[in-house]
Amino acid sequence: MTEGWAWVQVDSWCTFVVGSLNGWRSLSACRGGDSGFGHDLAKHLDKLGFTVFAGVLDEKGSGAEELRRSCSKRLSVLQMDVTNPQQIKDAHSKVVEKVQDKGLWAVINNAGILGFPMDGELIPMADYKSCMAVNFFGAVQVTKTFLPLLRKSKGRLVNISSMGGVFPMQQLAAYSSSKAALTMFSSVMRQELSKWGVKVSVIQPGGFRTNIAGTSESWDQKEKAILDHLPPELQEDYGRDYILQQKNFLRGIGTFSTSDITPVIRDVEHAVSAKSPSAFYAPGKLTSLFLNIAFFFPTSFLDYFEKKQNIQRKDMPRALSTPK
């Protein structure tokens, strides 16, 4: 029997490490918070007998405390914000101290933020930078930091991307661009790391209900920030009413998503434990349809399909809805 280790992030911007005490398997994952993929995944792997190091955005937060309370002594909670290089280094040092020469079996990058859905022209540059900082650069930094341990064990790298990183969706220019970057980074790393025996998988979930959309209070704050700093020309062309109606997208997320994240947990488990994991996983309803349209249908059909998906929306920018 060998003992493996992995790193997992379970708070909004975090990572976690898991190790198997009863077999060759071990894995790591990132993000979670009080709810979400990372939080439930840490619990699931702990129940399977893995040794889990859960990195969290706030080690004193309710999500971290709940993990300590409900999981076994094998699970450790570590402070790690993926936008903070020093916290990543500190977490790495603690993991190395624990695993010593055993190596690390898997790293699962799961940190992600959505930002405020809005037409790409209206999204502040700060939101584009925030999405890239958490969804892409954070995953790259964690990957680079822990790769020597993965190469030693010939382990697994699992990155949680999104269907939005493959299929273009209106109002998600910042989020989808960062996830598309993560998907391409993962594909390149899959090829480069194959010579080391490390396998790389990308999880591209469809519509699952987590805490990534934020709260109504955070929506109001983002909305106000956009209105307060919007150039006069854009305010005139789009109109205040149009901007205020964009929150309907966030309200509708719950309608078209499911709270049962079992398919995601199952695919991550397969990616870290199967002898021959898949390069891509697409858990969720209609994900196969979206992927087929994105890759095999003409662009004109893809645009028509997306337009039909948004046909219920009656709001239009003021400059396009006002009779000339």
Residues with catalytic function:
175
Amino acid identity, position 170: Q
The whole-angstrom separation of Cα 319 and Cα 234 is 10
Please report, for residues 55, 161, 287, 289, the alpha-carbon distance to residue 283 in angstroms, rounded to integers and kept in the order given. Answer: 24, 11, 7, 12
* 18 and 28 Cβ atoms separated by less than 8 Å: yes
Positions of E strands within the chain: 6-9, 16-20, 26-29, 50-56, 76-79, 106-109, 156-160, 199-203, 280-281
Q: How many Cβ atoms from other residues are within 10 Å of residue 71's Cβ?
A: 18
Residue for token pair 């280094």:
89
